[in-house]
Amino acid sequence: MIRFDNVGKTYAPLGGTRVPAVAGMSFEIAAGEVFGIAGPNGAGKSTMISMLLGFIAPTAGTVTVGGQRPRDFVEAEGIGYLSELVAIKPSWLVNEAMLRFATLAGTRADRLQARVDELLASFGLEEHANKRIKQLSKGTLQRVALAQALLAADVRVMVFDEPTHGLDPVWTQSFRELVPTLRRDDRAIVIASHNLDELGRLADRVAIVDRGALVRIVDMRSGVSDTAVTRYRIVFRGDADALRAVFPDATMNGVGEAEISVAGLADLNRGLGALIGRGVLISSVAPAYSGLEEQFRQAVRSNA
Amino acid sequence: MKARLGGYALWQLRDFVFERAAAIVVVNAAYLWVGHQQVTVANAALAQGGEPALELGRRLVAAHLGSVWFICALIAVNGISANDRTSGRFRLLFAKPVNVLHFYGQAFALHGAAFMLGTVAAVAALTRMVPVNGSTLGSALVILLVSYLLAGGIGFLFSALWRFDWLSTGGAFGVALYLAASFPNARWLGALPPFWRIFEQIDLIKASAALEARPLLWIAAYGIACFLLGLIILKRRPLAT
């Protein structure tokens, strides 16, 4: 559905320094997939999304959406899009803004208000319908932006850029529950977020980008990596020297608690067996970081 | 699903009314007030009726047009596409199935219609103060139309290029008038935006002469060419800046 083929983007302001934002980026996102994009600030996430929507053109390579140039696709079908910067005219009323977006999304005139009411209700915005955009809190504005992204029910591509930014825990959870309901066999969903825990829960695959490069794509469906070096937190009762003998790079967090590094599940279980063999009692073993978080740390470190 | 751009026209018109119409009304009202003062001074001509009164009418219409056409056209198109880009509003608008060229082309046409409505209403108000004959009214209508095409088209082009469109359009206006006055016979004047030609046509109203078709066509063609060039630039330029 979405294809980045050796894509590069260099900003060249008039009389300014050329700034490479993205380089040599290639990946595909299939229909039916929820695809995450993670990366530190300035990694190139926003540039990738701008190219995906056809707001800017790549300076190298090609981006296609549904086999077309992004702008052609958007103008033909539209994309359900929540931008990181929610820019809606401050003087518009919430209901008015939604009616405008619904009109542009192609909602039939006789269905306009009903569709808007439906979404306002879904996002708890009824009481704000007659408020001006400038009167809304950050979280409420974010809900308006989310609601407008869902106006067209039949879009084949959805893009959420920092979707839970500013949302309280209740609405963050609602968004997490919403995404699985948006899945369709013919729809690709892209979520860019700083929140790795969120991406870990929602996405099938997550692209980790850093300094404009695609460092790796983590497949969340395959569970814990069999080979990646992962840190675990282990709580035990027994001799700490025995622990160090089995896991030489173990770091003690206190009495009876340590962090260990292992190269995959097999390595972990071998080490635990050896530890038990030395008379150490283990009461808990858990990843020190989520699988994605660990991969993210490694990817960003390796790209430094 | 396609955007219902026709349905969105009402919103675009509403934006014009809330954001620009007041300024156009104020400008026209200010010059109507000036016109009203002149009528008071020239009461004798009015009392006389006939040709002297009609001549006063022609002079007032010409003076009003000369004062308002450029500033009202500038108000009508200022930031027509640049405002959405610089504010970031394009992101949510153009993620919908909207053709950018149709969107701004429609806005240009609607703003033109609203400009015509506002300025023609002011000329109509003038006819309540002084007698104005049909041919003067017809000429005023034509001049307002080509004025919008020229100043609006150039403003649209600059707005497609960058954010300082009102400044650029005002600058082009000043430079073109200065050069036309300083080098009236220079051949290269033909390449400049023919703002001074509009004033020449307005002078014909004062003289009770018919408007000249060739300069009017040139003015209109120049403005339309700028508008089309603006569309081409919008098609090719990135929306994100």
pLDDT digits (tens, 9 = 90+) for A36-46: 999 888 888 99
| Amino acid B42: pLDDT | 67
User: pLDDT-derived band of residue B151, with 50, 70 and 90 as boundaries?
Assistant: very high
Is B37 buried (19+), middle (13-18) or exposed (0-12) by CB count in 10 A? exposed
Q: What is the total residue count of chain A?
A: 304
- Pinpoint the alpha helices (H) of B17-133: 22-41, 43-48, 50-77, 82-87, 90-93, 100-129
Residues of A in contact with B97 (CB under 8 A): 74-78, 104-106, 152
User: pLDDT-derived band of residue A19, with 50, 70 and 90 as boundaries?
Assistant: confident
| Amino acid A197: pLDDT | 84
| Pairwise CB contact (< 8 Å): B89 & A89 | yes
Instruction: Give per-residue pLDDT as tens, A36-72.
Output: 999 888 888 999 999 999 999 999 999 999 999 999 9
**Among the partner residues B11, B99, B238, nearest to A100 by beta-carbon distance:** B11
Using the predicted structure, report yes or no on whether residue B100 has a pLDDT greater than 90. Answer: yes
User: pLDDT-derived band of residue A249, with 50, 70 and 90 as boundaries?
Assistant: confident
| Amino acid B227: pLDDT | 98
Task: With beta carbons less than 8 A apart as the criterion, state whether A246 and A258 touch.
Answer: no
B69: amino acid identity, one letter? W
Contacts of residue B155, defined as CB under 8 A and 6 or more positions apart, other chains included, come to: B73, B74, B77, B78, B80, B165, B166, B169
Instruction: Give per-residue pLDDT as tens, B8-39.
Output: 999 999 999 999 988 898 888 888 888 777 77
Task: With beta carbons less than 8 A apart as the criterion, state whether A97 and B14 touch.
Answer: no
Is A57 buried (19+), middle (13-18) or exposed (0-12) by CB count in 10 A? middle
Residues of B in contact with A105 (CB under 8 A): 1, 3, 96-97
| Pairwise CB contact (< 8 Å): A152 & B92 | no
A296: distance to nearest CA of chain B, Å? 29
Token digits for A235?
């709580």
| Amino acid B15: pLDDT | 94
The residue that leads in pLDDT, B130 or B109, is: B109
Instruction: Give per-residue pLDDT as tens, B159-196.
Output: 999 999 999 999 999 999 999 999 988 989 989 999 99
Token digits for A263?
């190269």
Residues of B in contact with A55 (CB under 8 A): 90-91, 94, 238-240
| Amino acid A118: pLDDT | 94
The pLDDT of A21-27, averaged and rounded, is: 91
B88: distance to nearest CA of chain A, Å? 6
| Pairwise CB contact (< 8 Å): A55 & B18 | no
User: pLDDT-derived band of residue A186, with 50, 70 and 90 as boundaries?
Assistant: very high
Is A158 buried (19+), middle (13-18) or exposed (0-12) by CB count in 10 A? buried
| Amino acid A239: pLDDT | 87
Residues of A in contact with B11 (CB under 8 A): 100, 103
| Amino acid A225: pLDDT | 52
Instruction: Give per-residue pLDDT as tens, A85-127.
Output: 899 999 999 999 999 999 999 999 999 999 999 999 999 999 9
Instruction: Give per-residue pLDDT as tens, A252-284.
Output: 888 889 989 888 888 899 999 999 999 999 999
The pLDDT of B223-227, averaged and rounded, is: 97
DSSP A78-135: --EEE-SS----TTSBHHHHHHHHHHHHT--GGGHHHHHHHHHHHTT-GGGTTSBGGG
Residues of B in contact with A53 (CB under 8 A): 91, 94-95
Query: Nearest-CA neighbor of A22 among A1, A54, A51, A53?
Result: A51
User: pLDDT-derived band of residue B48, with 50, 70 and 90 as boundaries?
Assistant: low
The residue that leads in pLDDT, B110 or A231, is: B110
Q: How far apart are CA A254 and CA A216, in angstroms?
A: 34
| Amino acid B49: pLDDT | 66
Sign of the alpha-carbon dihedral angle for A166, A167, A173, A175: negative
Interface check for A154 against chain B (CB to CB < 8 A): the answer is yes
| Amino acid A296: pLDDT | 80
The pLDDT of A194-198, averaged and rounded, is: 86
| Amino acid A290: pLDDT | 67
